[in-house]
Chain A
Amino acid sequence: MFTLLIGGAASGKSELAESLIIKCGALPRYYIATMQPIDDESRARIARHRAMREQKSFDTVECYTGLNNIKLPQKGAALLECVSNLAANELFCKNGAGGNTVEAVLHGVERLLCQCKHLVAVSNEVFCGGCDYEGDTLRYMKVLAEINRRLAQIADNVAEIVCGQAVYYKVSD
């Protein structure tokens, strides 16, 4: 089962994603972390998320680029947080996929789906703040938008998260 959650900044995506994983029951839980600790702000964000899931028995697997190289020890429930960070890393990091980012991320998610019973992927809504962007920002937006659309196509469930509430656009039977 693959669930995709998309929302704006601090919309409650993570907490909801974690609760969906917990609802999967007594399976091994993996948290695939994509944010690189590059400065104080990112380190504070990582610490906040670690504290949030502290009591929830997740094994954290760090993955900044190359999601297709991940090997999960057991078939359990995995939370990928977040697709928008992974896409930025692939697009802009030296060892990232660059122009091949869309395929790299999608291939990585497909590989991940084979390795777990449940996958919850979190991504970001960054598209409703106007159209006045250019250069690398615009390039990133186009890449992330395509990834979001294609993930939504293969996902069983897709929800937009608004103040911690899920608005489902697609629900599996």
Chain B
Amino acid sequence: MIFITGPLYSGKRQYARNFCGDGDMITEVQDLAARCADLPALADDLARRYKVIIATEIGGGIVPVDEGQREARDKAGRLSCMLAERAETVVRIFCGLPMVLKGDLP
């Protein structure tokens, strides 16, 4: 599994199409984390089902005042760590440019 992360609109999905069709990838998994009670199980399930998993980085910036928002971005961050752990390759996209953080590109 390839895990791709990076800021909003950085070109993650377009880059992912180098490796698979839209059917084999899932995007915006950070949204799944917010309403998930068992993050490791979610990470296992996603890693098993998809060739490429994409998460938008949302943990930067000042800590939100709203408790729900704080929890959502903490859970998103933890899910990303778990997916990176399970991935053979981790890539971060910056302005459309990839930086490999773990493993090798296929």
Contact = CB atoms under 8 A, between A and B. Distances in A.
Nearest to A128: B60
Given A10-B74, A10-B76, A162 B101 contact: yes
A129 interface: yes
Interface residues of A, number: 22
Interface in A50-100: none
A8 interface: yes
A127 B85 CA distance: 26
Nearest to B83: A163
A8 B62 contact: no
B78 interface: yes
Given A11-B81, A163-B90, A130 B59 contact: no
Interface residues of B, number: 28
A129 B58 CA distance: 9
Given A9-B74, A163-B3, A126 B57 contact: no
Contacts, number: 75
Contact of A128 (B55, B61, B83): B61
A98 B99 CA distance: 40
Interface in A1-17: 7-12, 15
A15 B76 CA distance: 16
Most interface-central of B5, B61, B76 (chain A CB within 10 A): B61
Interface string A112-135: 000000000000011111100100
A164 B82 CA distance: 8
A86 to B, nearest CB: 15
Interface in B59-91: 59-63, 67, 70, 73-78, 80-81, 83-85, 90
7 contacts: A125-B59, A126-B62, A126-B63, A162-B5, A163-B3, A163-B81, A164-B81
Interface of A: 7-12, 15, 41, 125-130, 133, 137, 141, 162-165, 167
Interface of B: 3, 5, 7, 55, 57, 59-63, 67, 70, 73-78, 80-81, 83-85, 90, 92, 99, 101-102
